[in-house]
Chain A
Amino acid sequence: MKIKWSYYFDEIKSRKFYIFGFLLLISITSLDQWIIIGSTVTQGQELSIIPSNINLAIILQKAAVLVIFAASWDLLSGYSGQVSFGHALFLGMGAYLSAMIKIGSSLTFGNEFTVFPGLPDNPHVFFGINIDLSVLQSILYAALLVSLFALVLGALTLRMKGPYFALVTLVLPLIAQILVTKIWGDYTGGDGGISIFNTGQLISNPIDTDISGLELFSLKIEQLYSVILVIAILSVGFMYFLARSRYGLVLRAIREDELAATSSGINLNFYKLSVFIISSFFAAIAGGLFTQTLGTASSSIFDAERSFEVIIFTILGGIGTIAGGVIGTFVLFFAISIYIDKGFVDIPTIEVLIFGIILIIVLRYLPRGLVNAKPQLRNALFFGTFFSILTAYYDTGVLWPWMSDRINPAIFLENLFGENEKGLFGLNILVVQGRMILYFILSTIAGYYGPESLQKIRLKLWGVWPNLGKFDPPK
């Protein structure tokens, strides 16, 4: 059997993927009026209560936060091999602690004493965005506290391997959920949780308050997204370079074989504990930012669903590559929020079903994820995504408006297939998102078979193909 060994370690190392990815994430908010989801939101937008592009920014916010979370899980489980099934513990702890540090809290054991004194508001303007620095401060403090907790927890679970470690991590968030809702309800707000309107929002109101309420709402969400994106790029970048460094190499060695690693002079305890702490630190930062996007720090953050979601994201992207977590999160979260939720509004928890199906298909056909897929498929998917988004830009008149007025792909398709609401194979080609899916499918197929067939045509013109190897001298 011929083993294609390049598959086993050939990640995306080309710089173009990352540069295009970041450009896409930054520029995508400039797209207006193309993706609207959910019936209530649609109605609100029709009545112009809710601004049109608000949903996209909210989705991107959450995706950017979950990217940090997925990368932190990947650093722990994908690199060092300690598979955690309850990483939401650190997410939730970060969320609650950051909120409690901001408002301040006190405990009563007979006498009342202050645990956190609370942080006063400290707004500063950076690049036109009015950021409350005390919120960032509280998130950082919470993350440091969580990593201190992880030091203790990691020291206790250091000798546990495989299923035992997984079981402990699976149980802990459930305990935390009960503690937060039932036992410490007085401090944590019980089932309702802690709202950020009581504690503090990361983005304060801009100084010139001439703009209307609706515009202000939209502006704050977009500004929050840009702040979160910067934090996400910084923290994921840190984890990415950590994983690519010799530290990451040692972690991979521990994952492959602990006995061989320790017999090569690697201090297992140091590496396992330190990666646990680093991972929990970034998960807690993600938790602190997650409250800002959700509006509350509630007990649902400890749900098992959160912990499994991140695993599925990372498996789709590729375990053991930080880039895999990022790509998987953006692709799946986008797909869920935009297409799946819209397509199946009647079934509330459809994403769990879809997750399961995706997981089985990916584990069967792409066990090492999108990042480690064979170059042909990977390039085709990248080309498909890039081309479909480019057409959306062109279509909506963001790029070359003078050109898109004259040659409109919507009109071209209408002329070709007629003006029907149901569209082509169930795709409504009259709306932008329907056309995007069509272009995505077409350009992915073209990207998959295109280069090969072009080469064949070229060889045919030269007279080489299909006579390749026919006239070689006999061996």
Chain B
Amino acid sequence: MLMSEVKENSKTIHSEENIILHVKGLTKKFNEVIAVNDVDFHVIEGEVLGIIGSNGSGKTTLFNLLSGVLDPTNGKIFALQQTKFKFHEIYDIIRNKFREKLNFGNKIGVNISGYKPHTILNKFGIVRTFQIVKPFKYMTSLENVTVPNIPRFTFSSSTKLKTESMRSLLAVDLGEKQKYPAIILPHGDLKRLDFARAMSTKPKILLLDEPFSGLSSQDAFRVTQLIKNTNKEYGVTIIIVEHKLKLLANLVTRIMVLDQGRKIAEGTPKEISKNKEVIAAYLGKEASQIA
């Protein structure tokens, strides 16, 4: 899309870094409960952003909003379009034209709030994993990673489809278990299968919803290595949701803290561990006074 097509009233972000996701005033209400309350943040290309917060602070709801599973009550999510719409998706083309645009330096972001999950994934390259793993239970692990490949390789040869799926399965060391149905795999393998399923869509932004939950220290180490490799080798931007600051400390470049739906702090892991508001949210006000 050309620069001239951008509306006049669209604002420009002046930043030297390459921003690929910009969230503005995102709010989600479930009847009277406000799960996510006016959250603003941006994500820079190639970084690993950690989001921490106690239970019920709206981390998973934020992910659901970003990936399109839920529609936001208010607010905008600007993302860069990665793939062109095909000719038969005329409804999406028209809708995309009239969407609000935001200038990210030299690229143009589109407001994707309210789009369907598959559109966000296939066109804007944002994919998510699940806190509670959701494998296709009675399908083999190879079939599990074949499904996300199908939208990109709908009419290509079956050999190519299988090769692509096998590659993403081998990347997480599940090549031996390609013919096992997902229902008999242990939890650690399922977490990695979920990771492989997300990665086989060739995303730009990977949303990991508690990738370490229920894992032994050995498995957690494997997942950490996977996340580091994905970020370095494929240049995928990663957003991780996690309870524990400890696991994220060596992994992330930046951390955002949520409390009761609000963003209360943002910064490097060291800054966050000394932040009084964060300590208050985690351990209570008295603890923050001691610190």
- Residues of A at under 8 Å CB distance from B? 3, 5, 8-9, 246, 249-250, 252-253, 256-257, 259-268
CB < 8 Å neighbour of B128 from A246, A256, A263 = A263
**Neighbouring B residues of A267 by C-beta, 8 Å:** 116, 118, 151
Most buried by B among A262, A263, A268: A263
Tell me, in angstroms, the Cα distance from A257 to B197 when the chains sit together: 14
Given that A264-B147, A266-B151 are contacting pairs, would A5 and B197 also be in contact in the complex, using a CB cutoff of 8 Å? no
**Contact yes or no, B181 A5, CB < 8 A:** yes
**Contact yes or no, B150 A259, CB < 8 A:** no
Tell me, in angstroms, the Cα distance from A3 to B184 when the chains sit together: 8
**Neighbouring A residues of B181 by C-beta, 8 Å:** 5, 8-9
By beta carbon, the residue of chain A nearest B152 is A265
Given that A5-B181, A249-B146 are contacting pairs, would A256 and B197 also be in contact in the complex, using a CB cutoff of 8 Å? no
**Neighbouring B residues of A249 by C-beta, 8 Å:** 139, 143, 146-147, 150
**Contact yes or no, B127 A9, CB < 8 A:** no
Shortest distance between the CB of A67 and any CB in chain B (Å): 25
**Contact yes or no, B183 A262, CB < 8 A:** no
Given that A5-B184, A249-B146, A267-B118 are contacting pairs, would A260 and B151 also be in contact in the complex, using a CB cutoff of 8 Å? no
* Known contacts A263-B67, A267-B151, then 7 further A-B pairs from the complex at CB < 8 Å, ordered by chain A residue: A5-B184, A249-B146, A253-B136, A256-B139, A257-B136, A263-B121, A268-B118
Q: Does B53 contact A (CB under 8 A)?
A: no
**Contact yes or no, B118 A265, CB < 8 A:** yes
**Neighbouring B residues of A252 by C-beta, 8 Å:** 136, 138-139, 143
Q: Size class of B's contact patch? A: 20 to 34
**Contact yes or no, B121 A264, CB < 8 A:** yes
**Contact yes or no, B138 A256, CB < 8 A:** yes
**Contact yes or no, A265 B136, CB < 8 A:** no
Given that A5-B180, A9-B181, A246-B161 are contacting pairs, would A265 and B138 also be in contact in the complex, using a CB cutoff of 8 Å? no
Given that A246-B146, A246-B161, A259-B134 are contacting pairs, would A253 and B139 also be in contact in the complex, using a CB cutoff of 8 Å? yes
By beta carbon, the residue of chain A nearest B121 is A265
**Contact yes or no, A265 B148, CB < 8 A:** yes
Tell me, in angstroms, the Cα distance from A259 to B209 when the chains sit together: 15
Tell me, in angstroms, the Cα distance from A394 to B185 when the chains sit together: 51
**Contact yes or no, B150 A256, CB < 8 A:** no
Tell me, in angstroms, the Cα distance from A3 to B161 when the chains sit together: 30
**Neighbouring A residues of B116 by C-beta, 8 Å:** 262, 267
Most buried by A among B116, B147, B201: B147
Tell me, in angstroms, the Cα distance from A408 to B246 when the chains sit together: 84
Most buried by A among B69, B128, B138: B138
CB < 8 Å neighbour of A261 from B122, B147, B161 = B147
Tell me, in angstroms, the Cα distance from A19 to B180 when the chains sit together: 29
